[in-house]
Amino acid sequence: MNTLVQPTSSTDTFYIVDFDRTLADSDKLLQVFIEITNQYIVLPLSQVEKIDTDVKAKGDSFDTASYVRNHLADQDQLDIWDRLQKQFIHESRALNMLLPGASELLHVLNQNQLSHGILTYGNPMWQHLKLAAAGFNHVHRIVTTNKHKGLLISSWLKEDGLFHLPQEFGGGTAHKIVLIDDKAASFEGFPSKPSMGYQVLDLATALPAQLGDVPSNVMHVTTLREVIDSL
Ligand SMILES: [Mg+2]
């Protein structure tokens, strides 16, 4: 017996956009977070930077927020954590934390009523904090701890040939997925055509962790502008 709840809506294409280094300037977010943190506590900065570098080299995202929060919790100062978070969100919003083309891409998706959501990999607390700081509270978003987003997306493809979208993406179904992401590893296990991907990466400034092989239905582009032009 089929006990599946009927999908509420069906769309042809669902666009999934990555957050770190696709929409947002992650280095700037971390820099501002560390600057604000230093107003409250003395962080062992060299240690933080070393951990960050080590983690980045492995292609992961350093869990800065948990590090600072745990540090404050150990000293029974979680009230400072609350103030710090609020100040980080407030000050970030006064700055532009988005990469070139990010606002336009989201504007074009909204304008043309193209269903979309942000799929970001990393520690949930730090990712949610950065999403809020970048002003994405109102966008459908999922934080995953699976760096191979393609495998996660493929798991949504059911026997009816449709992608059954998670509730965080509004539920419903889609015939195909378009994934926009800077990192090759994100496309591992990505579904075949008609789904497709854009790896947005300037090879002149790419980090080793962003590089790697991608499936044949993933196109390399240098800027978000090229993605916008092809929508
Ligand atoms: Mg990224």
Instruction: Spell out the SS3 assignment of the chain.
Output: CCCCCCCCCEEEEEEEECCECCCECHHHHHHHHHHHHHHHCCCCHHHHHHHHHHHHHCCCCCCHHHHHHHHHHHCCCHHHHHHHHHHHHHHHHHCCCECCCHHHHHHHHHHCCCCEEEEEECCHHHHHHHHHHCCCCCCCEEEECCCCHHHHHHCCECCCCCEECCHHHCCCEEEEEEEEECCHHHHCCCCCCCCEEEEECCCCCCCHHHCCCCCCCEEEECCHHHHHHHC
Same domain, 79 and 60: yes
Same-domain status, 226 and 123? yes
103 shares its domain with 70: no
Model confidence at 92: pLDDT above 90: yes
Last residue of a domain, one of 94, 125, 150: 94
Residue 2 C-alpha to ligand 1 middle, in angstroms? Answer: 37
Cα angle 176-102-121, degrees, rounded to a multiple of 5: 65
Q: Which domain CATH number covers 143?
A: 3.40.50.1000
With contact defined as beta carbons under 8 Å apart, do 216 and 187 qualify?
no
**33 located within any domain:** yes
Non-local CB neighbours of 88 within 8 Å, separated by 6+ positions: 32, 33, 36, 129, 133
Q: How high is the mean pLDDT of the chain?
A: 91
- How far CA 144 is from CA of 8, 19, 118, 196, in Å, comes to 24, 12, 11, 20
pLDDT at residue 168 tops 60: yes
Q: How far is the CA of 185 from the centre of ligand 1 (A)?
A: 10
Does residue 221 lie within any of the structural domains?
yes
In this structure, are 109 and 46 located in the same domain?
Answer: no
- Whether 4 is in a domain gets the answer no
Measure 135 CA to ligand 1 centroid, in angstroms. 17
Q: Is the pLDDT of residue 225 over 70?
A: yes
Share of the chain above pLDDT 70, in %: 92
The tally of domains found in the chain comes to 2
Range of the domain at 58: 27-94
CA of 208 to the centre of ligand 1 (A): 13
Contacts of 58 (CB under 8 A, 6+ apart): 209
pLDDT band at 7 (very low <50, low <70, confident <90, very high): very low
Whether residue 204 sits in one domain with residue 114: yes
Q: Cα of 186 to ligand 1 centre, how many Å? A: 8
| 98 Cα to the center of ligand 1, angstroms | 13
Mean of pLDDT values over 49-54: 74
Same domain, 169 and 208: yes
* 189 CA distance to ligand 1 middle (Å): 17
pLDDT at 217 over 60: yes
Which pLDDT score, from 0 to 100, does residue 58 have? 65
**With a threshold of 0.85, does the pTM exceed it?**
yes
Domain finish residue from 94, 112, 147: 94
Higher pLDDT, 42 or 8: 42
Q: What is the pLDDT of residue 76?
A: 94
Of residues 169 and 8, which shows the higher confidence score? 169
> Is the pLDDT reported for residue 50 higher than 60?
yes
67 and 164 belong to one structural domain: no
Q: What is the predicted pLDDT for the residue at 42?
A: 78
203 domain residue, yes or no: yes
Is 110 part of any domain? yes
Q: Are residues 40 and 75 in the same domain?
A: yes
Q: What's the rounded Cα separation, in Å, for the pair 211 and 208?
A: 5
Residues 76, 172 within the same domain: no
Domain match, 167 and 223 both: yes
What pLDDT is stored for residue 60 in this prediction? 61
